[in-house]
Structure 1
């Protein structure tokens, strides 16, 4: 199966945990059997899922070998109740136990599976579903549709969303036409799929071993309303779209840029800062992609400003910059970025990435035994990625901002966060 240039740079695993309260009509043993049967049925419309990533030696590109090698399904139990796990919102290193990341070759796995599901029963009758998938085959939206389809099959219902597997819809043009500068992308001349295993490319996805503090900054519905009102009241050029994501991104960008201690304090305000964030391009292309497109249909948008402007400008002006980054992503810009990937590979390139899980809606999926109590990514502490994820209450009106930074930068970030939030 062909993988697009967007898919090419996302060849890594993503893990999520989905927690479920006890349901007397659906004890874990029954749920696990239903999910196993549903997963087997799911492999028909998602025929590539039991395949494996391989490198095409002629093109230097990765692709999916749809050889039906299978996915992983693991059953586990835990001596704790769900309540004893404590605050599910707070990133808990113990949640690593709720996922299986590798399968032993003796279990019949032929290479690394594209999908592994672990079901863990708690003493109370609740359970967790740990899901690991390769990002090269799904983005957040297509994972949500996969979960909705899984829930329907577990309830013996037809698929609500038939996946569109035509990944060639995002193929580069021939010849490639890069019609915009792309400061959000890093130019690499290494042929796709031919990087050395020990090679370290300076991309936003690189992990750097650092001693980092991490904190969750919770914004209530009232806080978000206040930020929106503040942006609306400020001077603006009229381009700013005052959404929850845009006002939160503007606030976090300002704090992250001004807390950076890698530069001399005297030169800090002269430094340029670039925030990256994902934009779904399904509806932005001409013609639009099918909503059910199963591959990665997100590209990296950017907002750029010097730190002096980030410190002094009103919130409305920063919201304008974030909005500009999203509206820049029209059909021609998206096609240009995809063509850039054909020529230069095109890893994201910026100071940090805002990764939003806030509105993906994983916790709104209706299974036969009910909706999840909470869904969250398995969190890695990375100073170059700031996560937004929903609160645990039903409304999802609030948002949690997970930040990981060296101690000195964290103290500065925290001080700036509450200063800018209340001023």
Structure 2
């Protein structure tokens, strides 16, 4: 029987470490008694995703197979502790991405959020080079008094597992009308009595999309095992707007009405509605059978997207009583790094995501054959799609909202997938992770797809606000996936 984690299960390392770029590797001047700062200007696509995401990686290491580190602190058992190796690797990685050690703040004109970060060390009274305490990556270390196996199946969302993540920064607006400063990212490493450990990462989506976050952890682990960067990052980066910015004047050419906008003070209650997610497992055999059943060429992602959209529409019709002619918009993210857009390659740091919308009525979603729904998605994603022009239109649309002092957010049903991202290519010296998951608290209106190699399956995490919603959704799901 699985054990439940609680606050009493963890012993925290003190004090909290604020990791900054390694002074020994940092370019530029090394003297002076004041830090030097730079600003990373965020583009419209970044500001559309101004909230933090979390991911966790579990490693089932054993002391007997862990190699001795060449330097750094070692445990009584004679091997380097994971938190020591990872913290040192993070110092080295931040030299390549110093903006990750920054803080999200309001810019001087007061109309945008940007990132301010230190770019040169300074010397304090004891002669040590370091950045101000407020800047850096918070690095939490905890030690659990149980074995990793005692947690049971960690692929099942469980609120008790959320203690393995670093705390989320408070998002909102202060009394002065400015956004509250928030760190860009943070880490928590938790070790278990068996020698296993977990790495949890909280990262601002305004700074990094899923691909960027996955590559950051991939590079962190590659440095930790002594192999340098796995993926070169574009630097220096001073403005994502310079690469993916609006036209002047902004002139959207497509319908992006599924992107809604509110005043900053109202955004918390409008969009970020969270609840505990429910997991549904889709085996590779079931995905293969589902693809074969539609009878047309399609990817596993496309056919699963069609099925989840149908299930979502049935909840809207049966549980919430929406009329059949109500339009339902589903927008799925597309990685732009492989689309030939100038300046947007695999090393681009930021949000290179186009939300591709597909529209249908509830009646059509429930009545048309699944193959027709897949065809509709394929037409939107593959056929007649000028991705550069569509992305430019979306950027211009969001920019117009930002200029009005509004906060734009995607309100459509969305199915982000972590399956194709390199989270499982994160060996920091103890092998690859056994599972990569998300916290139990997920945003409503999403179905998040995660890879599950050990089970030869995909996991789908979906939030339901009632048992009636869950039963209605799962009934459609079971009609196609056994």
TM-score (norm 2): 0.76
Aligned residues: 396
Pair 1:408–1:39, CA change in 2 (3 A):
same
Which deviations, in whole Å up to 9, do the C-alpha atoms of 1:309-335 show, x marking residues without a partner? 112211111111222332336101101
Segment drifting more, 326-335 vs 247-256: 326-335
**Paired position in structure 2 for 1:147:** 217
CA distance in 2, matches of 1:263, 1:148: 42
SS at match of 2:469: helix
Matching of residue 334 in structure 1 with residue 391 in structure 2: yes
CA distance in 1, matches of 2:357, 2:320: 25
SS at match of 1:74: strand
CA distance in 1, matches of 2:277, 2:245: 39
CA distance in 1, matches of 2:285, 2:150: 30
TM-score (norm 1): 0.86
Which deviations, in whole Å up to 9, do the C-alpha atoms of 1:264-312 show, x marking residues without a partner? 75x6422222112211112325436121101111121122111221122
CA distance in 2, matches of 1:298, 1:103: 24
**Paired position in structure 2 for 1:365:** 426
- Does the CA contact (< 8 Å) of 2:49 and 2:409 recur in 1? no
Matching of residue 51 in structure 1 with residue 117 in structure 2: no
Segment drifting more, 212-221 vs 52-61: 212-221
SS at match of 2:436: strand
- Does the CA contact (< 8 Å) of 2:157 and 2:277 recur in 1? no
Q: Give the CA RMSD over aligned residues.
A: 2.5
Kindly state the Cα deviation for residue 152 of structure 1 after the two structures are TM-superposed: 1.9
- Structure 2 unaligned blocks of 5 or more: 1-39, 68-74, 119-130, 171-179
Q: How does 1:243-258 map to 2 (within 5 A)?
A: 243-258=299-314
Pair 1:264–1:379, CA change in 2 (3 A):
closer
Which deviations, in whole Å up to 9, do the C-alpha atoms of 1:320-367 show, x marking residues without a partner? 122233233610110111111111247344442212122223123232
Matching of residue 14 in structure 1 with residue 49 in structure 2: no
SS at match of 1:58: coil
CA distance in 2, matches of 1:85, 1:264: 36
Match of 1:383 among 407, 421, 444: 444
CA distance in 1, matches of 2:320, 2:227: 61
**Paired position in structure 2 for 1:75:** 141
SS at match of 2:81: helix
SS at match of 1:260: helix
Kindly state the Cα deviation for residue 102 of structure 1 after the two structures are TM-superposed: 5.7
Which deviations, in whole Å up to 9, do the C-alpha atoms of 1:213-270 show, x marking residues without a partner? 853221111111111111225xxxxxxx5001100010111111012257775x6422
Pair 1:15–1:264, CA change in 2 (3 A):
closer
Pair 1:326–1:59, CA change in 2 (3 A):
farther
- Does the CA contact (< 8 Å) of 1:352 and 1:383 recur in 2? no
SS at match of 2:408: strand
Greater CA radius of gyration, 1 or 2?
Answer: 2
- Does the CA contact (< 8 Å) of 1:102 and 1:112 recur in 2? no
**Paired position in structure 1 for 2:175:** none
CA distance in 1, matches of 2:50, 2:267: 15
**Paired position in structure 2 for 1:115:** 185
